[in-house]
Amino acid sequence: MVRFEHREVRMTIKRLSKVAWVALLGSIAWVGVAGAQKVSSEEAAGYLVFPKVVVDPSGRLSDGVPKDTVVRITNTSDTATSVHCFYVDGTPRCTIGGGLDGDGACETNEDCDSGGICTLASCQAINFDLNLTANQPVGWRASQGVVTAGFCVGGTSPGFPCSQNSDCSGVGVCQAQDIGRVPPLAPGIFLGELKCVQVVGTGTDPNIPVNRNDLVGNASIYRVDSGLVDVQTYNAVGVQAVASDGSAQNDTSLVLGGGSREYAGCPAQLVVDHFFDDAALSAARRVTSDITLVPCSERLEVDDNPAVHTLQFLVFNEFEQRMSASTRFRCFRETQLSRLDRRVGQEGFSVFNVGVQGTLAGQTVIRPVLTGDGNPGNGILAVVEEFHRSRLGIRSAAFNVHLRGDKSQPDTVAY
């Protein structure tokens, strides 16, 4: 975590209290209703969303520093359970040749051959299954997946893959367990999300969702730069099943929200408290933030034409002055805040830039624009990363956003 010790920064955050506390109290009021099903990053659920998973072995997307993600999922129940998961590939790729890794992956059009455009790929999904015993945590590096049947039991690293006892820290023991096989995402570049649903795990169709809320998870994105490790961790967003009686659902389609809901509805708004891009926290330290957006409605495995989602942003500075912006995306969008409304090289003119806002920090309310026919539901989820750049290098932190309200339209996840 990054410690903010600069006096001006502390005063800035204090001055934000009026706007920030209103949003925070609104979020708490919504997620804290007794007996209601929730969308939360703090409670066990039957459906988990990890908005950002990245594998960049060469560091071409990360200032030349390799990047990987450690994913962890835990069964909080006293009984065994099964999980069906999907990696959704949102890596931008060149329409014509080039790219950063020989496979077309890119950040901007300049990474592509002449005439090529860096644009979103097909959003294809890779599925796999996990079988978890009672109270079992599992974890893996996204680049490697689970390539052994051994996992640490006890010690200080329970659930991590291993091949011998020495791979487990503390007094942990490497024990063979058949949990399934998670595919590795290396050697190429991968940028996308992970979605996992709790399923029955047995019978003629083991991937039918089950009405249980036993799963929690988190993801750690880390960079290793000249021996220094920079780690940022966020919690998976959990969407709770309406019924928690252990009964099987009817099909492999999850209905989130609405009158026929099987799971809690996605939030009506997302609220993000953040520094404005290029804010100077000291003479030698500047801040930028990246946001990753993923849809609640999605056709996993096969979707040749992902739906377009339109978002509106209301941006408030410390004086409660308001500006607005909008953007569109399909199955995945990861970008610096100042590039939501401006092209590369024009970030200084963005409503998310400190030069435009005139204050160090602010708050952004994100609202999906609902379609008239309700198909798709247009709900969104997100995670934010904060990058502090100084002469010592880059240090970062990831955090979950506040969730506010419940959309009137349902979202559907089909696989």
- Mean pLDDT within 274-299: 95
Task: Give percent of the chain above pLDDT 70.
Answer: 87
Judged against a pLDDT cut of 90, whether residue 35 lies above it is answered with no
Judged against a pLDDT cut of 90, whether residue 160 lies above it is answered with no
Question: What does the CA dihedral 183, 189, 195, 200 come to, rounded to 10 degrees?
Answer: -10
User: Which uninterrupted H or E stretch holds 30?
Assistant: helix 17-31
pLDDT at residue 399, as a whole number: 97
- Cα gap 106→325, rounded to integer Å: 25
Sorting pLDDT into bands at 50, 70 and 90, what band is 268? very high
pLDDT at residue 394, as a whole number: 87
Encode pLDDT of 55-106 as tens digits.
998 888 767 889 999 999 999 999 999 999 999 999 888 888 777 766 788 8
Sorting pLDDT into bands at 50, 70 and 90, what band is 39? very high
Q: What would the two tokens of residue 235 be?
A: 């919690």
pLDDT at residue 1, as a whole number: 39
- Mean pLDDT within 20-41: 53
Encode pLDDT of 204-252 as tens digits.
899 999 999 999 999 999 988 777 889 999 999 999 999 999 999 999 9
Q: Which residue has the higher pLDDT, 245 or 176?
A: 245
pLDDT at residue 5, as a whole number: 39
> By CB neighbour count within 10 A (0-12 exposed, 13-18 middle, 19+ buried), where does 42 fall?
exposed
Sorting pLDDT into bands at 50, 70 and 90, what band is 360? very high
- Mean pLDDT within 293-304: 86
pLDDT at residue 109, as a whole number: 83
Bin 75: left if φ > 0, else alpha if -120 < ψ < 50, else beta.
beta
> What is the dihedral sign for C-alpha 29, 20, 341, 221?
negative
- Cα gap 95→115, rounded to integer Å: 8
Judged against a pLDDT cut of 60, whether residue 13 lies above it is answered with no
Q: Kindly state the DSSP code that residue 357 receives in the 8-state scheme.
A: H
DSSP-assigned states of every residue in 86-100: EEEE--EEESSS--S
- Mean pLDDT within 338-356: 95
pLDDT at residue 279, as a whole number: 97
Judged against a pLDDT cut of 90, whether residue 2 lies above it is answered with no
Weakest-pLDDT range from 188-192, 209-213, 220-224, 375-379 = 375-379
Judged against a pLDDT cut of 80, whether residue 355 lies above it is answered with yes
Sorting pLDDT into bands at 50, 70 and 90, what band is 375? low
- Cα gap 400→51, rounded to integer Å: 10
Sorting pLDDT into bands at 50, 70 and 90, what band is 29? very low
Judged against a pLDDT cut of 90, whether residue 159 lies above it is answered with no
Judged against a pLDDT cut of 90, whether residue 336 lies above it is answered with yes
Judged against a pLDDT cut of 50, whether residue 18 lies above it is answered with no
pLDDT at residue 344, as a whole number: 86
- Residue 82's Cβ-side half-sphere holds a number of Cα atoms within 13 Å equal to 18
Encode pLDDT of 102-150 as tens digits.
678 888 888 888 888 888 766 889 999 999 989 988 889 999 997 555 6
Q: Show the beta-strand stretches assigned E in 111-214.
A: 118-120, 125-132, 137-141, 150-153, 161-162, 173-176, 190-199
